[in-house]
Amino acid sequence: MTRRVYDCQAGCPVESTLQFISGKWKSVILYHLLKEKTCHFGQLHRDLKDCSQRMLALQLHELEQDGLIQKNIYQTKPLSTDYQMTDFGKSLEPVILAMEKWGNSYNQQHSTIEEAEL
C-alpha cells in the first residue's frame, strides 16, 4: 500500500501517523508486539478476543505491507508463523506507549467514577 507524506498543513503530522495505525486493531496489535517481542497468530487472536481471525489476518497483512511488522514462517508440520516489529515499527513505540499511559489514566478515572455511582 502506498503511503503519503503530507505537506505539513494543520494536522498533517497526525495524518501521517494515522495512515499507519488507524483502525481498531492495528495499534493494539503493535502494543502486544512491543510487550511480547514475538507473537504467534493464535496468541494474538486470544489476546484480541473481539477481533475475528479474518480481521486479524487482514490487519497483520496491512502492517506487514507497511513495513511495521515482519512475518516469520517456519517449515514445521503444521506450518508455524510468528510476527515481530521491524525497526520502522519500533519507531512507533513512543506513540503506542503514550496511548497506553493515556488509556490507563482514562480507565482509572472512569472506573473510580463508576464505582462512586454504584
Q: Where are the domains of the chain?
A: 12-117
pLDDT digits (tens, 9 = 90+) for 5-20: 656 666 678 888 888 9
Q: Output the nine-digit C-alpha cell for 63.
A: 502492517
If we measure between CA atoms, which residue out of 53, 39, 47 comes closest to residue 83?
39
16 C-beta neighbours (distance < 10 Å), count: 14
Least confident stretch, 20-24, 26-30, 47-51: 20-24
What's the CA gap between 114 and 56, in Å, rounded? 32
- Whole-model pTM: value is 0.83
Which listed CATH number (3.40.50.300, 3.40.50.720, 3.10.20.310, 1.10.10.10) goes with 12-117? Answer: 1.10.10.10
pLDDT digits (tens, 9 = 90+) for 39-77: 999 999 999 999 999 999 999 999 999 999 999 999 998
What's the CA gap between 57 and 62, in Å, rounded? 9
